[in-house]
């Protein structure tokens, strides 16, 4: 689950679609293990950094805007569509 509403704390003019598809050079997405979160936040203390979600075990990707679901996908369907585009095969 990802909540892009948290990004507005850094940019009040950013709408949901800008948060999802904007090409700002200043944004990167980082996945951090829960046990490393404190160390990561400490290392990033002088840089704008926002926790936007949690990677879970389910096959669902849910994107929310300030708690309201705006997009929901099956990760396996997304993977299949991506692979079909790249090499003509939906296999992993």
- Residue 54 has a pLDDT of 87
Q: Is the pLDDT of residue 91 over 60?
A: no
pLDDT of residue 80 exceeding 80 = yes
Question: Is pLDDT above 80 for 85?
Answer: yes
Domain locations along the chain: 2-87
Q: What is the pLDDT of residues 1-48, one digit of tens each?
A: 788 887 766 666 778 888 787 776 677 889 999 999 999 999 999 988
Check residue 66 and give left, alpha or beta (phi > 0: left; psi -120 to 50: alpha). Answer: left
Q: Which residues of 45-83 are buried (b: 16+ CB within 10 A; e: fewer)?
A: eeeeeeeebeeeeeeebebbbeeeeeeeeeeeeeeeeee
Q: What is the pLDDT of residue 64?
A: 92
């Amino acid at each position: 689950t990802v909540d892009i509403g948290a990004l507005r704390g850094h940019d009040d003019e950013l709408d949901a679609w800008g948060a999802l598809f904007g090409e700002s050079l200043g944004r990167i997405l980082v996945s951090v293990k829960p046990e490393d979160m404190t160390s990561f936040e400490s290392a990033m203390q002088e840089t704008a950094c926002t926790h936007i979600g949690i990677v879970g075990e389910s096959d669902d990707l849910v994107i929310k805007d300030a708690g309201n679901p705006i997009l929901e996908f099956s990760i396996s369907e997304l993977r299949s569509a991506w692979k079909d585009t790249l090499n003509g095969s939906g296999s992993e």
